[in-house]
Amino acid sequence: MTDRTTLLSTLDTLLQPERFKDYGPNGLQVEGRAEVRTLVSGVTASLALIEAAVAANADAILVHHGLFWRGQDGRVTGWMRQRLGLLLAHNINLFAYHLPLDAHPELGNNAQLGRVLGLQADARFGEQQLGFVGAAPAALATAQALAEHVQAALGRTVTLVPGGTQPLRRIAWCTGGAQGYFEDAIAAGADAFITGEISEPQAHYARECGVAYIACGHHASERYGAPAVAAHVAAQLGLAHTFIDIDNPA
């Protein structure tokens, strides 16, 4: 058992949110009970996750995508009322870390996606150094082989724009909606880039620059950071921890 303040301090010390310019508040987003025994982790603070956390008797939830974002409508109506109302009714703390959870060098989304895919980063790139890049394993020397490997590892269909025909030497990745990092990945020397989403311009960039682009799903690419951080902190503070994965095709 621990308390809410200690859990917040431990997460802040680990993830260092003050280092990042982000799209919403990092840390404690909804205050619940003071004592924390059970921590649930998930990707997004959806109603389904909150309901599952209630069923698991959670005292706190740790997510990557929280409830509050810069520029959103501030009224507590509709889906926001449902989610917030359930948290408050059951006195559950909600902790959310966005870019800090992407960036952590061992436990973050990018580090953990690299672990799952068997990729080892030796450099970082892009705005706030969120992107990871490293040498391509010998078995993943073609864009098709890499796409099939990512698809098998993550258990979902990927979108591949092959780019050029040269063997892959350097692979870059950045989880979630990081299609805007593609040009930075190219500048960093990547022969292939893996992220969650693809927008219209990236297909043209891939073909014109000869760099493969793989979109593997926003949710699928970000399933690993929150449970890794939560498990680490739970072990440190003596908490029970459960990761609850709410399926999302996006």
Digit-coded pLDDT (tens) for 229-241: 999 999 999 999 9
Q: Which residues of the chain have pLDDT under 50?
A: none
Give me the pLDDT at residue 228, please.
98
Question: Which helix H or strand E contains 241, and what residues bound it?
Answer: strand 240-243
**If you ran DSSP here, which 8-state letter would residue 18 be given?**
G
Q: Supply the DSSP string of 152-191, one letter for each residue.
A: HHHTS--EEE---SSPP-EEEE--SS-GGGHHHHHHTT-S
Q: What is the pLDDT of residues 85-120, one digit of tens each?
A: 999 999 999 999 999 999 999 999 999 999 999 999
CB atoms within 10 A of CB 168: 22
Rounded Cα distance between 24 and 170, Å, is 32
Q: Is the pTM of this model over 0.75?
A: yes
201-223 b/e (C-beta count within 10 Å ≥ 16 → b): ebeebbeebebbbbbbbbbbbbb
Quote the pLDDT of residue 147: 98
Determine the pLDDT at residue 168: 98
Kindly report, residue by residue over 166-185, the tens digit of the pLDDT: 999 999 999 999 999 999 99
Tell me the DSSP string of 66-133.
Answer: -S--TTS-----HHHHHHHHHHHHTT-EEEE-SHHHHH-TTTSHHHHHHHHHT----EEESGGG-EEE
- Report the mean per-residue pLDDT for the chain: 98
pLDDT of residue 94: 99
Q: Which amino acid is at 195?
A: T
Give the pLDDT of residue 29. 98
What is the model's pLDDT at position 202?
98
